[in-house]
Amino acid sequence: MTVRDIFDSMAYGPAPESDAEARAWIARHGGRFGHFIDGRFTAPGATFATRNPARGEVLAEVTQGAAADVDRAVAAAARAYPKWSRTPGHERARILYGLARLVQKHARLLAVLETMDNGKPIREARDIDIPLVARHFYYHAGLAQLMASELPDHAPLGVCGAVIPWNFPLLMLAWKVAPALAAGNTVVLKPAEYTPLTALLFAEITREAGLPKGVLNIVTGDGDTGAALVAHPGVAKIAFTGSTEVGRIIRKATAGSGKALTLELGGKSPYIVFDDADLDSAVEGLVDAIWFNQGQVCCAGSRLIVQEGVADRFHDKLKRRMDGLRLGDPLDKCIDVGAIVDPAQRDRIAAMVDGCAEGETYRAASPVPDGCFYPPTLITGLSPANPLCQEEIFGPVLVSMTFRTPAEAVDLANNTRFGLAASVWTENLNLALDIAPKIRAGVVWVNATNLFDAAAGFGGVRESGFGREGGWEGLLAYLKPKGTARALKPVAAAPEPAQPRADGIDRTAKLYIGGKQARPDGGYSRAVWSPGGRLLGHVGLGNRKDIRNAVEAAHAAKGWARSTAHNRAQVIYYIAENLSARATEFADRLSAMTGKPGKAEVEAAIGRLFTYAAWADKWEGRAKPVPMHGIALAMNEPVGVIGALCPDEAPLLGLVSLMAPAIAMGNACVLVPSSAYPLAATDLYQVLDTSDLPGGVVNIVTGDPDDLARPLAGHLDVDAVWCFGRGDLSAKVEAEAAGNLKRTWVNHGMARDWFAPASEGAEFLRAATEVKTVWVPYGE
């Protein structure tokens, strides 16, 4: 090749990164690894190979973790926990800071090893993955330092189990390990079977940082090892990132166990390009959105939604850019697109694309090397219902659709079961900021894509899972409110007396659905007796159909979410005012049902309504100072429709304690009141009726919680379910919630003092909101 040829083609020559150091590290371990437990490597057991997907060669043998290995690791973490959790925040901060420094010192080795094991271009491992890992530890060193002063009422959870995927092996480790350790937990982590090596190298590095033994343990293995960790009774929390399918399995496996859970699952993120966008920037962004890490990114912008008038021009520009992408050996610094992690994944991608008979497929011109590669691919002309527009392909395959109006763009964007991320491209700030809140996603990038930072929460809604990673909100997922838990005492309704006394006119309280009283669908009701044997009234027994109607009514009331916070506050004050006007009547009703004085509970309920009227316009978001051109706004959005099973211990105050934060934050709710003492709730709807609360914002379905918990928790149009009823309902609720992976908040049979200050405020407001991180350009 002549110099002239080079100038003509502008082709880069190969610029290979040396793998010598990484190979030497593997060789120092004899090419075979055990687990990392209690501060040291165990002897290798039954092993499996981990390969370099670009070259197909075996890199090392790692041990398939058995249940006994998980036991040993959890035991080590449990032994280390008491001391680590009591280590002052400053000490933990120093160690996390040390880890950040060491990640930087070993950055090249970590990057090369990551590329060899995963197949991602070295440019990405070197410039994105590893710097973000270091940043994560720096940031969390800061959180550890500030925890005592900023979150004095919180305590760590215990031993945390982390199960992570193969697409960002070390970064996902950092996302789990940094907040867990900052908060004072100890960890057992299982890396993905395709990519265990950087986790093992990191474990070795923790010794240099002085991390006490047992605080971080790594057990390698496949899904069975992960399942053993998830099932282990010594684990207090599971943090999982991976497929929605496995997320659902884990949700079911942990149901009723009392384990905390966060799930960061799949996505099918929209990439919306309006006709006034800077198209060249949007093309560059899209290259990053879908071809970064070969598209094996949970938040990959895998659905292009482009405005009709510019679609052809945009596709042409995109195709030209695709043709310039270079596929090849990921260790070559000039490579744009590396290898797919494993032949099984490549075959899966190929099968999905080959199985699609619709549309037109365009493949990048760059030759596809032998080995585990798949070319950048664009498919246009698909209908939105096509499986390729609905299912996660998890490869370098972009599907494209067009739209005419902003409303249509939003409809298309929201037309999947996922809700992880979205990009919006337009030069019109009004338009971008109009669209961002309408998209169902945990993260929205305006004129940008795939921006990540430790300070900014990341995570999804709907079937993309729940929980946030990063920021204060991510740290809170590794903490619980301080306090000693005591078991909930069962509360039983007063039984039917031997000699019933019915004085006065019988009244059957109906259900309250869509702002109207409704007869229960089944046509059944039951008598409510006072402890002294007096008939207090009848209450309707709701069923599955009533729950369905209530959820439908709640959806129809979605306008509440768009009402102003000031307006919501006014309505809640008005409810308090009207309850206050009837305080004596409510107090009498409570004491008639429970046999105890009711005045204090009514007063507390009025106070609680005031609290949430106050909070309605004060539960502020944050503006995160992220280290790139822009700012990340953490917006507190309503969750949507919340189903809540209310406590028996405080039939009025408990219900108000759940209802008020839910509606203050703009949610609609379906409440199942105490079944032992339901009449306080059915009296309350008369108060709601006269307080300007729009119909459907609060729906009340009385009945047997055994009949109502499952349909409510399983309903696909319910976004979150809270259960403060009988302890054994928690397991049912969590298991049923696996269907659409809705958020749950349950009592696990533990009592709560509903009168206590801890039973109002931040914990409740957090449950009633989703943090949406909106990245906007800002400043220089």
- Nearest distance in Å: CB 230, ligand NAI: 5
For strands 260-264 and 237-241, give the pairing: parallel
Please list the alpha-helical segments (H only) found in 87-222. 89-105, 107-118, 122-124, 130-150, 169-183, 197-208
Give ∠ CA 154-441-168 in degrees, rounded to 5. 75
CB atoms within 10 A of CB 607: 14
Q: Please, which residue, 110 or 298, has the CB nearer to ligand NAI?
A: 298
- Nearest distance in Å: CB 223, ligand NAI: 3
Report if residue 230 touches ligand NAI, rule: CB under 6 A. Answer: yes
DSSP bridge pairs for 501: 534
Report if residue 246 touches ligand NAI, rule: CB under 6 A. Answer: yes
Report if residue 258 touches ligand NAI, rule: CB under 6 A. Answer: no
Q: Please, which residue, 392 or 683, has the CB nearer to ligand NAI?
A: 392
Report if residue 541 touches ligand NAI, rule: CB under 6 A. Answer: no
Q: Which of 252, 278, 331, 230 is nearest to 446 (CA)?
A: 278
261 Cβ neighbours under 8 A, 6+ residues apart: 237, 238, 239, 240, 250, 251, 254, 467
CA dihedral 329, 330, 331, 333 (to 10 degrees): 100
| 31, 39, 212, 223: residue in contact with ligand NAI (rule CB under 6 A) | 223
274-333 positions binding ligand NAI, by CB under 6 A? 298
Q: Please give the distance of CA 673 from its chain centroid, rounded to a whole number.
A: 28
Token pair recorded at residue 196: 């265990």
- Nearest distance in Å: CB 350, ligand NAI: 12
Site map 169..208 versus ligand NAI, x via CB under 6 A: ---------------------x-xx---------------
CA dihedral over 402, 406, 410, 411, signed as positive or negative = negative
| 87, 186, 241, 699: residue in contact with ligand NAI (rule CB under 6 A) | 241
Report if residue 467 touches ligand NAI, rule: CB under 6 A. Answer: no
Residue whose tokens read 């309408």: 438
Size of interface with ligand NAI, in residues (CB under 6 A): 26
Active site residue 124: no
Q: Which of 567, 568, 520, 545 is nearest to 698 (CA)?
A: 568
Q: Please, which residue, 229 or 304, has the CB nearer to ligand NAI?
A: 229
87 Cβ neighbours under 8 A, 6+ residues apart: 184
Are the C-beta atoms of 525 and 538 separated by less than 8 Å?
Answer: yes
Q: Please, which residue, 223 or 375, has the CB nearer to ligand NAI?
A: 223
- Nearest distance in Å: CB 22, ligand NAI: 22
Report if residue 763 touches ligand NAI, rule: CB under 6 A. Answer: no
Report if residue 242 touches ligand NAI, rule: CB under 6 A. Answer: yes
Report if residue 683 touches ligand NAI, rule: CB under 6 A. Answer: no
Report if residue 450 touches ligand NAI, rule: CB under 6 A. Answer: no
For strands 186-190 and 159-163, give the pairing: parallel
614-653 positions binding ligand NAI, by CB under 6 A? none
Q: Please, which residue, 218 or 774, has the CB nearer to ligand NAI?
A: 218
DSSP per-residue string spanning 392-442? ---SSEEEEEEESSHHHHHHHHT-SS--SEEEEE-S-HHHHHHHGGGS--S
* Catalytic member of 61, 124, 193, 264: 264
Report if residue 343 touches ligand NAI, rule: CB under 6 A. Answer: no
Q: Please, which residue, 345 or 366, has the CB nearer to ligand NAI?
A: 345
DSSP 336: S
- Nearest distance in Å: CB 460, ligand NAI: 9
Task: Give the interface with ligand NAI as residue ranges (CB under 6 A).
Answer: 163-167, 190, 192-193, 222-223, 226-227, 230, 241-243, 246, 249-250, 265-266, 298, 345, 348, 392, 394
Residues with a known catalytic role = 264
